[in-house]
Structure 1
Amino acid sequence: MKKLIVSLFIAMLGTSCNTLDVPPLNIIQDKDIFASESGITAYMASLYNDMPIQDHQATVNGFNNYWNSWPQAGHMSGELLNNMLFFVWDSPSGGMFQFWAYDRVRKINYFIENMPLYKADFPEDKINAWLGEAYFCRAYYYLAMVNRYGAVPLVKEVKNYPETSIEELQIPRNTQQEGWDFVAEDLDRAIELLPEESLTQGRVNKYVAYGLKSRAMLYAASLCQFDTPVSGYEELLGMPVSKAQSYYQAACDAASKLDGKYSLYNKYTDKFENYWNLFLDEDNPEVIFAKYYKYPEYAHSWDVHQIPFQIRGPEGYSSILNPTLEIVELFDDINGNPFVLKTTDEKGSPIRYDNPYDIFKDVEPRLKASVILPNDTYKGEVIEIRKGIWTSYPDGELKTTTDFSVMYKDMPVMGKSGMGHNETTTTGFFVRKYQDPNLPNSQVVHGHSTTQYIEMRYAEILLNKAEAAFYLGKKQEALDLINQVRERAGAKLYTLDQLAEENVRKERRMELVFEKHSYWDLRRWRIADKLMNNKKYTALCPYYIYDEGKYIFTKEEVGTTYTYDVKVNYAKVPDGEIAKNPNLLPNNPGY
């Protein structure tokens, strides 16, 4: 190695000064990026990879976490609890879901400024498509930041030091309204430039940008209608009530552009089979924007973390994320009635069931396709879930244990999949959505799952438009849109009289359950603290009465009391960023 370094040094001394005046070999030059399609594709891939998509590998602490796919937004919305080993409580610190993305923004600004300099090398439609993708990515990043922090600096061009002084680089925060309007502006520019068809699978087109605009404008409208800034923050964070209607209309208009371009997935006549396969089938007219995976190049670990204990793979691990009873009972039954699980009769005595699945006989197909219920079937096996065994002999004792090897008479106390062990369900339920029933158990290990992650689908667009139409006073239009979603789900259709705000919101939470929307929805409606503060979540616990051959159920609180501080409606601007830029002060209220 020393000989190699010396030889290089001698060779450099023997060259002319002109030859030495070249860029370092370890620095990628603009011509390497912008003068070839492969360079541009690689650069664009980095912009997509930087998107804060809350996919199978996203956690409250960051994105693209290969191994740990928990915790995630479900914990913060009451949809999911971790199993006993990995219990997550809450974070009133405001530090969860951070995304301060100015390194990423700079990459995009650099691309937008430099790509046109090479326009003679490529067809105009390709230049436009690439620039459209860049504007979309910048809008996506800023949407994520404005949604978190409310007010952030809007940096629209590359700033270089020392050409730009330190003082000039310390940009103050723009107002929240300016942030939402900038997201809309970038999406309008993307729409203007993007083609109708994506360049390749997984990349955006004009209609993805319209879809994101419908989401962004709905969020902005909600804040106009429901947020009340803390005194002293009205100018920075305040969203004018008078703008709510125009934002709702913008959300409606953008959503309407996708009509006829996408449709709800309806490949199977069986409603349960159809809804479950919606998330597994890549040949899918409902998918607008998704992340795709391929083993071994790029895979995730969703299955190994969610599979029931009794069919887990060779590495172990299972049942990490457990649906709460609260989210299960949010759904309707097939007759349109509230789905309240009956555990006691009118006298208060436990109801006996021959089979624990009998309590779910009227379950809506969409719920069954999202949640594995006690004694439901998955991968050809009945998933046994018990909390314990009652017997009237010798002394009416209750047998419970966390050890699967313990047998009571001829059956394990916990069943084959829980409850109580640190890799079984805490709540009595498992997540079914996105689990691949065709993945061999030998492959249910870390880094082997390839199920797509759908970041945007047509059902969300219909619900965006329905919510906006509802608040615009167009109740019939909102009803028609929501009933499209309910019909596909196997739910009883709403009547106009039933279309209250509560049901508009409930439909969104049911349809998009476990898809990382609920936390942000509850936040923008400003009801998260009402639903989650000082809250303990509930499990449904099946018990087997041995000498009767019957099952009973109890509803039991699990975990610790959850705290949701209203200050979390705006995330904390990171201390490290304020240390570099004091003009970011004041921080958001409460920090």
Structure 2
Amino acid sequence: MKVTIIFITGILSLLSYSCNKLDLPPMNIIQDKDVFSTESGITAYLSRLYYDLPIENFSATKDGFRRLSWPTSGNCSGEMLIVQNDMLYDSPSGDWFQNWNYGAVRNVNYFIGEFPKYKNNYTQAQADQWLGEAYFIRGYYYFAMVKRYGGVPIIKTPQYYPQQSLEELKVPRNTEKEVYDFIIEDLDQAIKLLPEKSIAKGRVNRYVAYALKSRACLYAGSIAQYGAMQLNNILGIPKEQAEIYFKASYESAKALENSYSLYRKFPDKFENYWNLFLDENSPETIFAEYFIYPEKTHSFDLHNIPYQMRGAPGYSSRLNPTLDLVEMFDDINGNSGTLDIGPENDPKRFSNTMDVFVNVEPRLRGSVILPGDIFKGEAIEIQKGLYTSFPSGELKTSADFNALYNGKNIIGKSGMGHPETTITGFLVRKYQNPKMERSQVLGSRSTQAWIDMRYAEVLLNRAEAAFQIGLIDDALKCINEIRDRAGAKLYTKDQLTEKSIQKERRMELAFENHSYWDLRRWRIADKEINNRQYKALSPYYIFNEKKFIFKKEYVGGKYTFYPKVNYAKIPEGEIAKNENLQQNPGY
């Protein structure tokens, strides 16, 4: 039989894939023996499977994968806004971040089914490695779907038409619980087969499977804990099952404790935190997607560089952290992170814009470029306007960086006011490359790796699961390990609550495309996001005093998030092909 990558989505249509970017002729004209009888053929096939992993990296957007670097799910969680000319993003229709990806499922099913016929050509270690990778990948594919749609059809073997009738191809949805159990089953297989160390950069090992299992089980436990049974039990997991999944998440996370550690290379905690995301030899990285110029790149720096450092016209400052996120971080003394700028009618005066941030947590500075902070050896000038005097003087604003008042710039070199500068007063530091020359800040030139799984997330998984099953001391230990590295004041036992654990996760994993999904699984997205307008921190210069003041100002429109969007809308085209698929409620 030939290897074909024609797939029927459970359903009626035939979808053809090419061998995108693989050094192999199209698979639909290659015999199995040519693929599975050589190590190079297997490597190429697995490369296709890895390529199809729905990793929510620099180029994952509401419209799909491998696209421009905005808007990310962070634009839909209140972590950040985007420059005004790119509008406000929310998803009342539930049709964003789609990933109904049964074409990729068919390819991995084919490998799992056919490769064992050729395994005697290889050592046991090789065969186990490759099958383990395939089981992990299939678990990853299904996790990406279940966290979006809830219960989806479980298809374990390739479908063939016309060998199978159209009715056989119209597979109904499995329950959400059945899908999570199937993912766990696949990851257990991967854990059993994979070695402890990856055979090559970017390839998975046993602990990567443990990390994904920890994540998936945490989600399943949350759905049981906070969700409800719907759609004839296709959606939801019985509440009494929550503890089972939380225990599995906890045990999977604990399996990594002797193999990975938090990044602590630099004594300065601010410097240490931002370097974590650029050091490809970090002991914290569990699984990452790697890039190399010119074969595989992204454009994160181009899109997020401060205006005063941009290399190409028309781009910069796209992702703007909100004041709401910034004030989520307590200061280094454990006090509220709410910035003390004084009352609106008599604001405090500051000699420099960074003076208001004197006690901020190092992790915040490592994640966000604050007004006046240093990046690439320069102070990032963020200023919205100039008062001739305050409060009775004239307010000067401009969209022109060269506009002056008596020799003083009206806005900063990086804004605010120009349409390609921050609208919130903040910029993203996390993942930006501070060593990239201005001339290289262009499209498709960035090569920093995207960390898909890191040990801090595993510790957060462990802490949340431990708290849910009553292991409070262990939960506190994990949270405080993260807070110590962050430069935050450690929690006492009575400060550890469900809310503080959730908050810690949102701070530590900011801009890493976790928060949107976390808010959904905790079933608090509508409370956090719906009908909410986010805030900016706007610095103004008082000319006659030679001082700065700040204003907290609402910016952009109001978000919309309906509870129905906790489950995404199944694509209408798939429903049309298969009447056995039931649409999610509310659509």
Mark yes or no: TM-score above 0.5: yes
Opposite residue 35 of structure 1, the aligned amino acid is S
Q: TM-score, normalised by structure 1?
A: 0.94
| Separation of aligned partners in 1, 2:56 and 2:117 | 35
Rounded Cα–Cα distance in structure 2 between residues aligned with 1:333 and 1:132: 44
Q: 1:149 maps to what in 2?
A: 149
Match of 2:436 among 432, 439, 445: 439
Q: What does 1:70-85 correspond to in 2, within 5 Å?
A: 70-85=70-85
Residue 45 of structure 2 is aligned to residue 43 of structure 1: yes
Q: Distance in 2 between matches of 1:25 and 1:329?
A: 52
Alignment-derived partner of residue 388 in structure 2 = 391
1:89-128 pair list within 5 angstroms: 89-128=89-128
SS at match of 1:191: helix
What residue identity is the alignment partner of 1:62? G
2:585 to 577, 585, 589: 589
- Render the CA deviation track for 1:273-307: whole Å, top value 9, x for unaligned: 10010000011100000011111111110000000
Amino acid at match of 2:270: F
2:78/2:534 contact within 8 Å kept: yes
1:234 CA drift (Å): 4.5
Name the amino acid aligned to 2:86: F
Deviation at 1:238, TM superposition (A): 2.6
- Give the direction of change, closer, same or farther, for the CA distance of 1:395–1:459 in structure 2 (3 Å limit): closer
1:394 positional shift: 13
1:28 corresponds in structure 2 to 30
- Aligned equivalent of 1:458, options 455, 460, 471: 455
How far, CA to CA, are the matches of 1:103 and 1:177 in structure 2?
A: 23
The 5 A counterparts of 1:467-486 are 467-486=464-483
Q: Where does residue 311 of structure 1 map in the other structure?
A: 309
Percent identity, aligned pairs only?
58
AA aligned to 1:51 is: L
State how far apart, in whole Å, the 2-side matches of 1:478 and 1:393 are: 49
* Alpha-carbon separation, structure 2, partners of 1:515 and 1:377: 23
**Could you tell me how far 1:461 is from its partner in structure 2?**
0.4
| Alpha-carbon distance in structure 2 between the residues aligned to 1:200 and 1:25 | 24
CA deviations on 1:11-42 (whole Å, 9 max, x unpaired) are: xxxxxxxxxxxx99981221221111111111
| 1:556 pairs with 2:553 | yes
Match of 1:240 among 234, 238, 241: 238
- Once residues 127 and 64 of structure 2 are traced to their aligned partners in structure 1, the CA distance between those partners, rounded to angstroms, is 32
Residue in structure 1 matched with residue 217 of structure 2 by the alignment: 217
Q: Deviations over 1:420-452 (max 9, x none)?
A: 211100100000000000111110000100111
| Alignment match, 2:504 | 507
Among residues 259, 283, 286, which one is paired with 1:288 in the alignment?
A: 286
Aligned pair 1:350/2:347, yes or no?
yes
Residue 489 of structure 1: how far off its partner (Å): 0.5
Q: What TM-score does the superposition give when structure 2 sets the normalisation length? A: 0.94
Return the alpha-carbon distance in structure 2 between the equivalents of residues 46 and 315 of structure 1: 35
Distance 1:428 1:260 in 2: 41
Name the CA distance, whole Å, in 2 between partners of 1:155 and 1:61.
25
- How far apart in 1 are the matches of 2:239 and 2:361? 38
Give the whole-Å Cα distance in 1 for the aligned partners of 2:350 and 2:376: 24
Cα distance in 2 for residues equivalent to 1:394 and 1:489? 39
Contact preservation (8 Å) 2:105, 2:141? yes
Aligned length: 563
- Larger radius of gyration, structure 1 or 2? 1
CA distance in 2: counterparts of 1:226 and 1:409, whole angstroms: 59
Q: Deviation string for 1:503-541 (max 9, x for gaps)?
A: 111111111111100001000000000011100010000
Which one is further off, 147-156 or 410-419? 410-419
Give the secondary-structure state (helix, strand or coil) at the position aligned to 2:372. Answer: coil
Whether the aligned pair in 2 keeps the contact of 1:84 and 1:420 (CA below 8 Å) is no
Tell me the residue number matched to 1:19. Answer: none
Alpha carbons 1:289, 1:455 under 8 Å: kept: yes
SS at match of 2:557: strand
> Any residues of structure 2 matched to 1:112-261 within 5 Å, and which?
112-230=112-230, 233-261=231-259
Query: Which SS does the other structure have where 2:288 is aligned?
Result: strand
Instruction: Output the CA distance in 2 between the equivalents of 1:189 and 1:125.
Output: 14
**Is the contact between residue 84 and residue 421 of structure 1 (CA under 8 Å) also seen in structure 2?**
no
Residue of structure 2 aligned with 1:54, choices 53, 56, 59:
56
Distance 1:393 1:326, change over 3 A: closer
Alpha-carbon distance in structure 1 between the residues aligned to 2:249 and 2:179 = 16
Which of 260-269 and 29-38 deviates more? 29-38
**Structure 1 stretches lacking a partner, 5+ long:** 1-22
* Whole-angstrom distance in 2 between the partners of 1:115 and 1:253: 31
Partner of 2:7 in structure 1?
A: none
SS state at 2:480 partner: helix
Residue of structure 2 aligned with 1:404, choices 401, 409, 416: 401
Task: Give how far 1:566 is off.
Answer: 0.7
Cα distance per residue 1:309-349 (max 9 Å; x no partner): 0011134410000000000000010001110111215x951
* Counterpart-to-counterpart distance in 1, 2:197 and 2:90: 42
CA contact (8 A) 2:290 2:450 kept: yes
SS in 2 for 1:258: coil
| Structure 2 counterpart SS, 1:235 | coil
Q: Distance in 2 between matches of 1:392 and 1:272?
A: 36
Secondary structure at the aligned position of 2:586 is classed as coil
Q: Aligned AA for 2:266?
A: Y
Q: Which runs of 4+ in 1 moved over 2 A?
A: 23-26, 392-395
Q: Is the 8 A contact 2:184 2:213 kept in 1?
A: yes
Deviation readout 1:109-153 (Å, 9 max, x if unpaired): 100111111112111110111010000000000001011000100
Q: Output the CA distance in 1 between the equivalents of 2:28 and 2:42.
A: 18
